[in-house]
Amino acid sequence: MKSTTNRPAATSLKVLTPSEARILEAIAGRIFPATETPGAVETGAVNYIDQALAGDYGHFRSLYRNGLRAVDRHGREKFARKFADLSDVEKDTVLTDFESGQAQGFKNAADFFETVRCHVLEGVFCEPHYGGNRDLIGWRLVGFPGQQYGYPDAYINKLVDLEPVATVEPPLEKK
């Protein structure tokens, strides 16, 4: 693992408020947690989602606003503390209630959870110019060498020993 930086995920927020970002960061940290290797927070998944909400995912803004508030509220009702301050086990209990749609008082609970789960993982594995996958951590974790121009070898039952790349080069080489 080349990089194990542990910087805060969202440095300059475009759409989320700081308190929303804290809740989202706490969720991201359970969806794809840091273990002996970095997780979603360290790869910048929150930043990815914030950038997406400012653009292509603008239509998800109200779902996030309401969903993040509902997660926090559900955490307070169940454990009498802010969601971000809960233990890992407590956070997982809250998130499981959302995943199964059993969280009271928010009819889009399951839909919200599935949306966030999907977006957090996108943030881990995206091309880095979308704001996540910092230092290509997501790709390194799973063994994906990135946007390689091509593969000279089929690597059948061999580890791919190429340094991962993210590329924005002009697509076609001119002859």
For residue 154, the tally of other CB atoms under 10 A from its CB is 7
What are the beta bridge partners of residue 146?
165
Rounded CA separation 47/103 (Å): 26
How far apart CA 34 and CA 4 sit, in angstroms, is: 10
The rounded distance, in Å, linking the Cα atoms of 51 and 113 is 19
Q: Report how many residues bind another protein under the rule CB under 8 A.
A: 46
CA–CA separation, 50 vs 84, rounded Å?
Answer: 18
Q: Which stretch binds another protein (CB under 8 A): 16-24, 65-73, 77-85, 164-172?
A: 164-172
Q: Is 138 in contact with 32 (CB distance < 8 Å)? A: no
Among the listed ranges 9-17, 76-84, 100-108, 153-161, the one in contact with another protein (CB under 8 A) is: 153-161
Site for another protein contains 7 (CB under 8 A) = no
Measured in degrees and rounded to the nearest 5, phi and psi for residue 146 equal 85, -150
Q: In the set 3, 4, 11, 151, which binds another protein (CB under 8 A)? A: 151
The verdict on 156 binding another protein (CB under 8 A) reads yes
Residue 12 in the binding site for another protein (CB under 8 A): no
- Which string of x and - marks every residue 13-32 that binds another protein (by CB under 8 A)? -----------------xxx
Nearer to another protein (CB atom), residue 25 or residue 122:
122
Lookup: tokens for 116 = 């966030």
Residues 84-143 that bind another protein (CB under 8 A): 92, 95, 99, 117-118, 121-122, 124-127, 130, 138-139, 141-143
CB of 166 to another protein, least distance (A): 10
